[in-house]
Amino acid sequence: MVERANRTISVGGWRSNGLPSAKRGLGAVFPKLSRGLPVTLPLLVLAALVLYPVAGLIGSSFLDDKGFTLANYEQLLSPRFFNIMVNTVTLGLGAAVIATAAGTFFAWLCVCTDLPLRKVFTILHIAPYGLPTIAAALSWLFLLTPKAGLFNRFLVWLFGLEHAPFNILSMPGMIWALSTHLYPWAFLLTSGAFATMDRSLEDAARMGGASRSKTFRKITVPLVMPSIAAAFILIFTISIEQFSIGGTIGVLARIPILPVEIYRSIAVYPPDWGFATTLSVALLLITSLLIYLQNRLLAGKSFVTVTGRETMDRVRLGWWRWLAFAVSLVFVSFAVLLPYIGMMMVSLAPSLGVDLTLENFTFKHYAYIFTEHPFVFRSITNSFLLAAASATILAIFTLVVAVVVKRTQIPGRGLLEYMSRWPVAIPGSVIAVSLLYTYIRPPVQLVGTIWILLLAYVIRNLPYAYSAAYAGLARVDPTLEEAARIHSTPPRRTFFRIILPLTLPSVMAGWVIAFINSLRELPASLLLFSSGNETISVAIYEMFEEGAFQLPNAAALMTFLSVITVIPAMIVRARARGGAG
CB of 408 closer than 8 Å to CB of 38: yes
Nearest to 436 by CA among 419, 421, 456: 456
Residues 579, 581: Cα–Cα separation, whole Å: 5
pLDDT at position 510 is 87
DSSP 3-state assignment of 503? helix
Per-position b or e across 252-261, b if 16+ CB within 10 A of its CB: ebebbbbbbb
Task: Please give the torsion angle defined by the CA atoms of residues 80, 84, 85 and 91, in that order, rounded to the nearest 10 degrees.
Answer: 160
Q: Could you give the dihedral angle defined by the CA atoms of residues 227, 242, 51 and 292, in that order, rounded to the nearest 10 degrees?
A: -20
Q: How far apart are CA 183 and CA 332, in angstroms?
A: 11
Residue 245 neighbours by CB under 8 Å, 6+ apart: 91, 133, 136, 137, 174, 177, 178, 181
Name the β-bridge partners of 68: 63
- pLDDT tens digits in sequence order for the chain, 581 residues long: 333 333 444 444 444 444 344 444 444 444 554 567 888 899 999 999 999 999 989 998 898 878 888 888 888 888 989 999 999 999 999 999 999 999 999 998 998 888 899 889 998 998 887 788 899 999 999 999 988 889 999 999 999 888 899 999 999 999 999 999 999 999 988 887 787 776 677 667 777 777 767 777 777 777 788 888 888 988 999 999 999 999 999 999 999 999 999 999 988 888 888 889 999 999 999 988 888 887 776 664 444 444 444 445 677 777 888 999 999 999 999 999 999 999 999 999 888 877 777 778 899 999 999 888 888 999 999 999 999 999 999 999 999 999 888 888 888 888 998 899 889 889 999 999 999 989 988 888 899 999 999 999 999 999 999 988 888 888 777 777 777 777 777 777 777 787 778 888 888 888 988 998 898 899 999 999 998 999 999 999 999 988 878 889 999 999 888 887 766 666 655 555 544 44
Q: Report which residue type is found at 258.
A: L
Q: Tell me the one-letter amino acid at 134.
A: I
Q: Give residue 353's Cα distance to chain centre.
A: 33
CATH superfamily of 77-335: MetI-like (1.10.3720.10)
Handedness of CA 504, 507, 512, 518 (dihedral sign): negative
Strand partners for 112: none
* Axis crossing angle, helix 133-144 with helix 338-348, rounded to the nearest 10: 80
Does residue 64 sit in helix, strand or coil?
Answer: strand
Domain ranges of the chain: 77-335
DSSP string for 292-326: HHHHHHHHS-----B-SS-----B--TTHHHHHHH
Closest C-alpha among 522, 555, 527 to residue 243: 522
408 burial (CB, 10 Å; 0-12 / 13-18 / 19+) is buried
